[in-house]
Amino acid sequence: MKTFRNLSILFAVLLFSSTAVFSQGCMGGDSGDGAKVKGFIQPQFMYNFNGDDAAGNSLDENSFMFNRARLGVLGSIIYDIDYYFFTEISPFKNQAATPHLLDAYVSYTRFGKYAKISLGQFKSPFSLEQNTGCSELYTVNRSDVVTQLAGPMRDLGVMVSGGNDTTLLRYSLGFMNGTGLGVYDDNGNKHLVGRLTVKPLEFLQVGGSFRTGKVNPTNPDSVKNDLYRYAGEVKVDYKNFMFQGEYMMGTDRLYSPSMVPVYGGCGGIVAYDTKIAGDYHKSGYYAMISYKTSWNIEPVIKFDSYTADSDTSNAWSDRLTFGINYFINDYSRLQINYVYVNEPTAVTNDMLIIQLQAKF
């Protein structure tokens, strides 16, 4: 409660006085564009279809919740400094059920669109869907393969990036802890993460990503494990039609029995999976199409598949999402998703998700 109260006081002050404070030079100089308060909320209703028990009683669950509730400040300080600071206030987004820091970084922009240098905590430069803003996703949730193979989603480090939506090439290269959201590096070996996209046509983008680094074994006296991740992506955005897909593959090279992180959404590591020594090959893909009609209604279909261990026959799961997005205005939309889940062992665990979003 104390953490939540402090954050509330902080953002109340920022909301009512940020522009005045920066324009008066209280930060020790002209602040350029000043501070902008930004955020969005995503209240949600979720219904989980869990089947019946042996006595025929329904095991279904349903709940209202906040998928995300985010508030932040961003702006520029002359000369050549940008800053970006965002928090997650929804108690449903991490295991501790507390507000927490998402992004906080400072960027040096002297070299313009060719090379921006950022230091702090930010999204790892891996995967198209991972680096799509949470308020801009075509479906309520990201694909399972992206959650597992692109993680950790956020990390601490330094990144050099260049290009934008109008340039032929766009790149990001990060030198990062590899331990995830708000976690001090536990082994001193940094992860190298990068993404490159090419836009040969106005409506076509193709690209790839990679990650390599060390991960601690369960026994600290053992050799550190190796982690490798690779991804390819394509996006076609022609008039009102959109197609997007990615293929990902990776290897966990374990030199001793180890607990391998399991990632989940924006909150980083949600569990550990104990594995014996050996190479574990993982892979998966998703493909998605949508069409925005003249009535501001956008139907979406997405299929994603993830295999946690290619050498094990029952380590896969598929998800088929049927969605409808209704754009109420430029800042608000309603999303309805039905997610059909298919796994080796037949289990009833489909989901119906209804989410209303407002940005400010």
**Rounded to an integer, what distance in angstroms lies between the CA atom of residue 217 and that of residue 336?**
41
Q: What is the DSSP letter of 222?
A: S
Mean pLDDT of 19-28: 38
pLDDT for residue 26:
35
C-alpha Rg value of the chain to the nearest Å: 21
Please tell me the pTM assigned to this model.
Answer: 0.87
- Quick one: what percent of the chain has pLDDT higher than 90? 69
Q: What is the pLDDT of residues 92-120, one digit of tens each?
A: 877 667 888 999 999 999 998 999 999 99
pLDDT for residue 261:
77
- pLDDT averaged over every residue in the chain: 89
Q: Convert 271-280 to b/e letters by CB count within 10 Å (16 or more is b).
A: eeeebeeeeb
Q: What is the pLDDT of residues 311-321, one digit of tens each?
A: 888 899 999 99
Domains annotated for the chain, with CATH where assigned, are 2-359 (2.40.160.10)
Q: What is the pLDDT of residues 159-199, one digit of tens each?
A: 999 999 889 999 999 999 988 888 888 888 999 999 999 99
**Token pair in block for residue 311:** 């050498």
pLDDT at 21 exceeding the cut of 80: no
